[in-house]
Structure 1
């Protein structure tokens, strides 16, 4: 499928140096451009404020309220969903970005968008969709996010062709939402020589990707995207542990045991690779357990819940403060935006974040892999892709049926089916499966 911008003019900002670059901390006219030019409907808001509002009011964001974060939304009343996680990421990212001089609405928009492409059942569903779509370029939640922002989410259509262009965000906000700015074949190599499975764009979205990356260094994320990524890491590392403690799956006393710390470090390496050395992880766990806010003996009382909430707040402040201080030590004061700087996260801070992730893996995520429910979820996703591919376009929702009719070959049609399944919530995926795959007998 071809993407052709309409009535778009590349403009050089008025305030530039002799090489055509804008001064540090300045967002240029190119940063504010949209794939499809639009006349501003109001002078009351900046282009970036409009971007944030478009994501906030999107149907894709609302659907996150019924999508799994770590545990399913129906597992209890306390557990976080993708939506509540996203709102927490946005709050952390906005404050972190503001402290560095980024436009808060660019960072906020990127944080609100960062999980929009995730399918039903969280990473479990993502794995299932990756398997069924392996022959057409695979599935990746972050690449699906870009597809949704630039194609699938209904907001703006090309008046000439009638084609949907998604939310038609500015270049700066779109670029900030791209966590992995490369295709699957161009993914960077890991230290062990294997290629990363993470990527941010499918082949048939390459044209709009090239547009939003104009002027960007190859495979380098803008500062706002780096802020979004750290806010995501900080939020889910801290909050997954909080959810595990409240749910009775984890007692933070475990870090007092040396064998447990070694076990957690092993899980970190198994799930996230050798990002930091084992010794750094072990030291990080000792430091975390020694902080004054570390919770011991959680009994579910209001006093205990308040202490746990204080711990999460203290940890978020600890991690973000360390990154701000380290970044400022390298780049000095002033506003830092786009490609003026890279976010600096000290290795001890990174190790502490990974240690928290390791706790969640050890006590929540790894054990659930063996549960029949999680195998069943993957079966639901695979079954749905199969039955919808057989019954398309009739079985598809109206927008996806139109995409299927317009698709040029079987690969493109399968991608439409994957788009449809990815858009479903945990609840609707189960309901569709019950209705289409195992309908009740009459």
Structure 2
């Protein structure tokens, strides 16, 4: 049973290109399915979540992260009487625009695109689902519903201008009301993202040897979870102890979000999704005490994992690769694959060819997987790693 403040599929604002309704699936279910079957989603399998020095099959990729976010989003949305299909669709799409090497690649491309309209992965995800996926006979992109596009654009909150060119371009086609909050379902996807990476980055950092279980026991929330496991299961095998403790950390975050949302929804009694959009803050969020504790955990991860010496070395190496490939393609667009040459020709015929060409190169480079980017660097630039 959907609550009045949920996004009801029969009340969807529809698609940019009208389509007949499906016999078996709601509009939001079709959005979810189109995202899962997209080329961009498959590429997430080989895109970095967080760089660690060691490589192994157990570290999260951008795809496994996305699946975890979608699972948490469905749980929270179902508990709150929201549309689980929409929450899942936004969760599955939220990282489609990430370039190779995660936030490291994003930072490098943002600098390279500074004079050509900027870059951020949320806007690039919109560009992918509205333009770059080219499989359907009647339209470019996936022709997602307005509600899913809105969720991709502003699941992290209102987006004030100036907007990147990619975001402005989509918004010009279809007003996404960027300066308001997103639906509660999209807000759920954003908080589920926080829950997922706060949990799995701890797992991956431990596996990489960047810190120890004893280090984590000094942190708020996490220390209490380890202590509870030790009380209930004295002498437990270390790996089981770790798993039991960290799944309790995960549960603490999810339960906190649900409790806060239930209290706020009871107090504010929103009667429609538009009331959710026009509130003075998000309806889905952590409690203030837990938020402060999570800041301490994030500060620990930033110092011990995201800025660990081994990770910094790898970040410099892959940044140099992106910085070398982008200008090479910009100066020699003939190096782009044959199926990109139509976009190149359109860019060169435009009124600002250098800018338009840079955007084509960005689409190509941002779509690369980690390993393909590295292969192209070795093939086109140097068989040796860059000096950093």
Residue of structure 2 aligned with 1:208, choices 166, 170, 177: 170
* Aligned residue pairs, count: 366
CA shift for structure 1 position 255 = 5.1
CA contact (8 A) 2:4 2:271 kept: no
Correspondence 1:328 to 2:257: no
Q: Distance in 1 between matches of 2:260 and 2:209?
A: 36
Correspondence 1:234 to 2:195: yes
Q: Which residue of 1 aligns with 2:143?
A: 168
Q: Which residue of 1 aligns with 2:87?
A: 107
Q: What are the residue-to-residue correspondences of 1:360-379 with 2, within 5 Å? A: 360-368=301-309, 371-379=312-320
Q: What are the residue-to-residue correspondences of 1:288-299 with 2, within 5 Å? A: 288-292=222-226
Q: Which residue of 2 aligns with 1:25?
A: 6
Q: Which residue of 2 aligns with 1:424?
A: 368
The verdict on how the C-alpha distance between 1:106 and 1:73 changes in structure 2, with shifts beyond 3 A counting, is farther
Q: Which residue of 1 aligns with 2:76?
A: 96
Q: Which string of whole-angstrom CA distances, capped at 9 and with x for unpartnered residues, describes residues 232-262 of structure 1? A: 11110111011111222211322566xxxxx
Q: Which residue of 2 aligns with 1:136?
A: 116
* TM-score computed with the length of structure 1 as normaliser: 0.75
Q: Which residue of 2 aligns with 1:308?
A: 242
CA contact (8 A) 1:117 1:148 kept: yes
Query: What secondary structure sits across from 1:135 in the alignment?
Result: coil
Residue of structure 2 aligned with 1:250, choices 211, 236, 243: 211
CA contact (8 A) 2:66 2:92 kept: yes
CA contact (8 A) 2:29 2:85 kept: yes
Query: What secondary structure sits across from 1:329 in the alignment?
Result: helix
Q: Distance in 1 between matches of 2:46 and 2:228?
A: 31
Q: Which residue of 1 aligns with 2:326?
A: 385
Q: Which string of whole-angstrom CA distances, capped at 9 and with x for unpartnered residues, describes residues 180-212 of structure 1? A: 5666744xxxxxxxxxxxxxx532542532565
CA shift for structure 1 position 347 = 0.8
Q: Which residue of 1 aligns with 2:25?
A: 45
CA contact (8 A) 1:234 1:353 kept: no
Q: Distance in 1 between matches of 2:168 and 2:35?
A: 22
CA contact (8 A) 1:142 1:180 kept: no
CA contact (8 A) 1:223 1:340 kept: no
CA contact (8 A) 2:51 2:314 kept: no
The verdict on how the C-alpha distance between 1:28 and 1:111 changes in structure 2, with shifts beyond 3 A counting, is closer
Q: Which residue of 1 aligns with 2:294?
A: 353
**Cα RMSD for the two superposed structures:** 2.9
| Structure 2 unaligned spans of 5+ | 277-282
Query: What secondary structure sits across from 2:223 in the alignment?
Result: helix
CA shift for structure 1 position 293 = 5.8
